A and B are shown apart, each in its own frame.
Chain A
Amino acid sequence: MAKEFELNEVEVWDGNYAASQALRQAQIDVVAAYPITPSTPIVEGYGAYVANGYVDGEFVMVESEHAAMSGCVGAAAAGGRVATATSSQGFALMSEVLYQASGMRLPIVLTVVNRALASPLNVRGDHSDMYMGRDSGWIQIDAFDAQEAYDLPLCAFRIGENHAVRLPVMVHQDGFTTSHKAQNVYPLKDAIAYKFVGDFVPVDEMLDFTRPVTHGAQTEEDWHYEHKAKQHKALMDSPAVIDEVFADFKELTGREYKRVESYMMEDAEVALVLLGSSVHTAVLAAKQLREEEGIKVGVVAPRCFRPFPYDLIRDALDKPSLKAVCCMDKSSPGGAMGALFNEVSAAAYSTNARPMMTNYIYGLGGRDFSVDEAKRIMKEQKAHADAGHITTNIQQFSGLRGPKLGFYEIRRS
């Protein structure tokens, strides 16, 4: 039986420590990990909890991130509650096994502390690794600050382990900006947190010797397609469970999460859509701009990156007042428009408002995103709205040194 960890009503924790406490409270059976900056303290913390008797579980040290996720797959198939953490290059090395985990329908929780992908080598945060995971078949939930980095892993176990879902879940937070920024965090007592997460109820576990099973079977064109379709259906149906878990969490803590967070959108004329810690900064900028210049700005943030909340994004943007929307991608798009731009534009196309859509790339490699820059971009959207057409390139770069860089213009006759 694990010891109780004494917690104050308010703690000053960074995102990493917050996530490690959530993993401890969920009483994970196995963490197989290969630590990497900036997510190292999450698994380091779990290791210390095991060593000090605060978790009745096992920490498995492995030789790479590929092996870490492989160990998690094995432990999850055996029938345990399993989690690990990674970032950046480690995430990239895991990627092959990520697809195995989701295809095998193993409810592993992976806390990803978002970090840029090399080259150039860089330890600081952007969304390259999070974007890399978007077709991997995992549920991806995004924490915007340290409190959320504590709350959302607790929800993630409930969501992934639900027998109607049975999918692995990533909980993302921004490297350094969230993972290394300490702030007030209001944790639950151990017993309350564990009760919320609940006991792990295995499915088809390999350690059930009364019913031996094979995991990870091979298929070709005869079976593969049906399994992938069933997996996709499970992802597309998971919002019902996600919403239910978020509702229960609100009842327990008063803290409300939605698959799409939207701020001041009711009368918004222009809006920013973005992810991660920048959401808070953008909301602050929007409030200030409303007060200072009367510009009606709103902010939309997909809390749930996968399954992509197409319907809720559409609802958030379907406002008669809305004229211009800028989607901000914190990942180098590699020869395309940003992923958020593409996906949000697709949802916006089915609204009556049909706002003008533009794309900013920003914050790569940890470049700071300021309130002033958010306001400048919001005012630029207002200029599009006033002109009745997009007045800049459709894709631009924020906070970049050198001559202005942009791609594509609207066709006007």
Chain B
Amino acid sequence: MVEIRWHSRAGQGAVTGAKGLGSVVATTGKQVQAYALYGSAKRGAAMNAYNRIDDEPITNQETKMYPDYVFVIDPAMAFSDDITKNDKPDTQYIITTHLSKEDLIAEIPALHDKAERVHVVDCMQISLDTIGRAMPNTPILGAFMKVSKMYDLDFFLENMKKVLSKFPQKIIDANMEAITRAYNEVN
């Protein structure tokens, strides 16, 4: 079982991102869950999204998880949210930030002893450059493919295209560019 917790703000596409990841993974014969925890919150409010991925049917319906990966797709939430909640010894952190990895870790005490498990990528800037607005949900998946080695980039891109097929070609292309850039830029 691979478990992923997203830290996001309503409107940044975490739910779409989590479902997109789930859709790609399900085409490979695996079982998935994609869900989110939010109430009547408005755009901008802090929220979590979650993925579970396994070879067997996933029966656990509890919200809480001990994540293998934590995605922080809003730069401010690395500071304001409890991103290391339910941390495991091998939990990997992929954080969107304009800071360098060293500067980010220096600012966040909870990450001080986890430096080797922290990966940074500026999904905000990447999405502004490519998609034209702050939409960090698809680029973070590119970074995730690099960090987790779950699938080849090309395989993932092909399948994400299908997931995004209801959008205009221009938006699909921009997302592909964003995913590729994040894949190459995460460190």
Q: Is the interface of A mostly helix, strand, loop or mixed?
A: loop
Interface size class of A (residues with CB under 8 A): 20 to 34
Residue A350 CB within 8 A of the other chain:
no
Interface positions, chain B 28-44, Cβ under 8 Å from A, are 31-37, 39-40
Q: Which of A181-221 contact B (CB under 8 A)?
A: 181-184
Contact B33 A183 (CB under 8 A): yes
User: Whose C-beta in chain B lies nearest to the C-beta of A17?
Assistant: B19
Q: Is the CB of A369 within 8 A of B33?
A: no
1/0 per residue B65-103: CB within 8 Å of A? 000000000000000000000000000000000000000
- Which of B54-62, B104-112, B117-125, B137-145 forms part of the interface with chain A? B54-62
Query: Does A277 touch B at the CB level, under 8 Å?
Result: yes
The distance in angstroms between the C-alpha atoms of A280 and B63, with both chains bound, is 13
Judged by a CB distance under 8 angstroms, whether A278 is at the interface is yes
**What A residues does B40 contact at CB under 8 A?**
37, 123
- Judge if A151 is at the interface, Cβ distance under 8 Å: no
Given contacts A10-B26, A12-B26, A123-B40, contact A182 B34 (CB under 8 A): yes
Residue among B26, B31, B36, B62 making CB contact with A369, cutoff 8 Å: B62
**Among residues 1 to 57 in chain B, which have CB atoms less than 8 Å away from a CB atom of chain A?**
18-19, 22-23, 26-27, 31-37, 39-40, 57
B149 CB–A CB distance under 8 Å: no
B64 within 8 Å of A (CB atoms): yes
What residue of chain B has the Cβ atom nearest to residue A37's Cβ? B40
A358 within 8 A of B: no
Residues of B within 8 A of A368 (CB): 62-64
Give every chain A residue within 8 A of B26 (Cβ-Cβ). 10-12, 184
Query: Is the Cβ of B34 less than 8 Å from the Cβ of A277?
Result: no
State the interface size on chain B (CB cutoff 8 A).
23
Closest to B20 in A: A12
Residues 276-296 of chain A, each 1 if its beta carbon lies under 8 Å from chain B, else 0: 011011011000000000000
- Residues from chain B with a CB closer than 8 A to the CB of A277 are 61
Q: B54 → chain A, closest Cβ, in Å?
A: 10
Cα(A327)–Cα(B89), bound, Å: 37
- A123 — which chain B residues lie within 8 A by C-beta? 39-40
B37, B40, B62, B63 pick with most chain A CB within 10 angstroms = B62
For A1-37 the 0/1 string (1 means CB < 8 A from B) is 0000000001110100000000000000000000001
**Cβ–Cβ contact A180 & B61, under 8 A:** no
Q: Across the two chains, which residue of chain B brings its CB closest to A121?
A: B40
Contact of B33 among A176, A182, A281 (CB under 8 A): A182
Contacts of B22 in A (CB 8 A): 12, 182-183
> Contacts A123-B40, A177-B35 given; 6 further ones with Cβ under 8 A?
A10-B26, A10-B27, A12-B32, A12-B34, A180-B36, A280-B61
**Interface residues, chain A, CB within 8 Å of chain B?**
10-12, 14, 37, 122-124, 145, 176-178, 180-184, 277-278, 280-281, 283-284, 366, 368-371
Q: What are 21 of the A-B contact pairs (CB < 8 Å)?
A: A12-B26, A14-B35, A123-B39, A123-B40, A124-B39, A176-B35, A177-B35, A177-B61, A180-B35, A181-B33, A181-B34, A182-B32, A182-B33, A182-B34, A183-B32, A183-B34, A184-B32, A284-B59, A368-B64, A369-B62, A371-B60
